[in-house]
Amino acid sequence: MRMTNTKLFNKASNGFIEHDPTQDGIDRRGFLKCMAWAGTGALCVMQGGVLKSFALGSQDSSIKSHKTAGLSFVQISDSHMGFNKPANPDVVGTLRAAVDKINALPRQPEFILHTGDISHLSNPEEFDNVDQILKATNREVFFVPGEHDVLNDDGKMFRERYAKNAKGAGWYSFDKNGVHFIGLVNVMNLKAGGLGTLGNEQLEWLEDDVTHLKSSTPIVVFAHIPLWTIYPQWGWGTEDSAQALSYLKRFGSVTVLNGHIHQTMQKVEGNVTFHTAYSTAFVQPAPGKADSPGPMKVPDGQLLSLLGITDVNYVQGKHALAVVDSSLA
Amino acid sequence: MKNKILIAIVGVALPLALTALFMIYPARVKGQDAKSTEVRVDNFTFAPDTLTVPVNSTVTWVNKDDIPHVIASSDGVFKSKALDTDQKYSYTFTKAGTYPYYCSIHPKMVGKVLVQ
């Protein structure tokens, strides 16, 4: 399945496979470029070991072949229901726009992952509101908490609503179409001066959870705070994420999906693809580009282009999952 | 006559004066420090990040951010509920000591209160 000479993009965009050390048809650098390109509304998907891309929403034949993918799901994040400041006075409207976007996807997702900050202030009405709006997707939604969802009760309400059968503070795993999904909690028991934390109990559970899996099983890990260090000065990272990732080293394909920073960012390291999602509520500044990571008011008319959803596709037998961001504009 | 006046001063006026002083003194200290006992939570920082106050001072944190914050003692001495924009939390320090605290949902935000 070696595709070293295949040029999938014109050279001008530098989007062809240049390096393929693992001989899996995936050039990590090329994949990143493809994903960067995808940010403007295209879709990259692995098929027959070849990285293919096509515009989102186009109805050409490539979409048809894309429909043979093994599994499709959507990630949404940071809906911050209850937020009403100038950065977005209508978080209900933008979450509804995200639902419309999901419902209009050419390939309907089998389920949805919400990577936390469902609510702004952990109020029951805020959770109710989100549940009500997401019903319009007719899809099952899997949640992990953000720090805004566990504000005053150590996450009790979150667990009762969204993680009844989960372990500890709300972590769990499940399998879909041969892909193993792991929802982690890194917003509890945070220590002064530190970053996000998983904690020993959760790490032990994770190690045990994956021991029985074949190394060829694709893994998707989802959690609120990024599991890679993006900007520690703003707390954008997780103290003990390296320990967690060490348990996943033997797997051929690991996709890590996070929220929290309200902007998309990708990194590929070995067999691990890290990805952060858009918020559906408001924008936060790029790392270090403002005095604080607080909500950022963007010029009128630009907000929808900076909020969005993430569409993830897995083709059976292939390694990397295709991760595609689409803005709400 | 002189003695009687002296006794009157020592026996009545002085205790009265002392009582008045003791009544006024705590209020005066409180009044003096009222301005310096507010900590502004703004741009994900505490201002001032180190605050020195006398024993029995009440410190009030006020959140000026568009994001909620939680004021939590690093040693578990005190903890607020989530403070939304413009909400306040107060704690009275009755013992001398150093009280480090942080925002329990944005743990990079740290500060301390020195009680003397």
Task: Please write the tens of the pLDDT for every residue from A224-273.
Answer: 999 999 999 999 999 999 999 999 999 999 999 999 999 999 999 999 99
Residue A96 near residue A130, CB atoms below 8 Å: no
- Distance CA(A166)–CA(B47), nearest Å, equals 40
At A34 the pLDDT is: 42
Q: What percent of chain A has pLDDT over 70?
A: 79
Who wins on pLDDT, A35 or A305?
Answer: A305
Q: Please, what's the b/e burial string for A170-204 (b: 16 or more CB within 10 A of its CB; e: otherwise)?
A: bbbbeebeebbbbbbbbbbebebebbbbbbeebbe
Which residues from chain B sit within 8 angstroms of residue A295, using beta carbons?
A: 66-67
C-beta atoms of B43 and A148 within 8 A: no
Query: Measured over all CA atoms, what is the biggest interatomic distance in chain B, rounded to whole angstroms?
Result: 73
Among A41-45, A114-118, A195-199, A201-205, the range scoring the smallest mean pLDDT is A41-45
Who wins on pLDDT, A317 or A3?
Answer: A317
At A73 the pLDDT is: 97
The pLDDT mean for chain A works out to: 84
At A319 the pLDDT is: 72
The pTM (predicted TM-score) of the whole model is: 0.79
Residue A9 has pLDDT above 70, yes or no: no
User: Strands, DSSP E only, in A68-222?
Assistant: 71-76, 111-114, 140-143, 172-176, 179-183, 219-222
- Nearest chain B residue to A232, by CA: B108
> Residue A74 is encoded by which pair of tokens?
């959507």
Model confidence band, residue A44 (pLDDT cutoffs 50, 70, 90): very low
Residue B114 has pLDDT above 60, yes or no: yes
Residue A59 has pLDDT above 90, yes or no: no
Interchain CB contact of B106 with A (< 8 Å): yes
Who wins on pLDDT, A57 or B115?
Answer: B115
Model confidence band, residue A315 (pLDDT cutoffs 50, 70, 90): confident
- Nearest chain A residue to B81, by CA: A152
Model confidence band, residue A19 (pLDDT cutoffs 50, 70, 90): very low
Model confidence band, residue B3 (pLDDT cutoffs 50, 70, 90): low
Interchain CB contact of B54 with A (< 8 Å): no
Mean pLDDT to the nearest integer, A132-141: 98
Model confidence band, residue A116 (pLDDT cutoffs 50, 70, 90): very high
Helix (H) or strand (E) holding B111: strand B106-115
- The residue among A36, A6, A1 whose CA lies nearest residue A22 is A1
Backbone angles phi, psi at A151, to 5 degrees: -70, -50
Interchain CB contact of B55 with A (< 8 Å): no
| B48 preceded by a cis bond (ω within 30 of 0) | yes
At A250 the pLDDT is: 97
At B5 the pLDDT is: 52
Q: Which of B67, B81, B101 sits opposite A152 (nearest CB)?
A: B81
Task: Please write the tens of the pLDDT for every residue from A145-165.
Answer: 999 999 999 999 999 999 999
- Distance CA(A228)–CA(A184), nearest Å, equals 14
C-beta atoms of A235 and B45 within 8 A: no
Interchain CB contact of B99 with A (< 8 Å): no
C-beta atoms of B105 and A120 within 8 A: no
CA quadruple A87, A258, A126, A154: dihedral, nearest 10 = -120
Model confidence band, residue A320 (pLDDT cutoffs 50, 70, 90): confident
Model confidence band, residue A313 (pLDDT cutoffs 50, 70, 90): very high
Query: What does DSSP assign to residue B11?
Result: I
DSSP string, B53-83: E-TTEEEEEEE-SSS-B-EEETTSS-BPPPB
At A317 the pLDDT is: 72
- The residue among A149, A174, A153 whose CA lies nearest residue A162 is A149
Mean pLDDT to the nearest integer, A81-103: 98
Residue A4 near residue A24, CB atoms below 8 Å: no
ipTM: 0.79
- Nearest chain B residue to A290, by CA: B43
Residue B13 has pLDDT above 70, yes or no: no
Residue A25 has pLDDT above 60, yes or no: no
At A263 the pLDDT is: 97
Q: Enumerate residues 4 to 33 of chain B having a beta carbon within 8 A of any beta carbon in chain A.
A: none
- Distance CA(B102)–CA(A144), nearest Å, equals 24
C-beta atoms of A292 and B82 within 8 A: no
Residue A55 has pLDDT above 70, yes or no: no
- Distance CA(A307)–CA(A279), nearest Å, equals 5
Mean pLDDT to the nearest integer, B63-70: 97
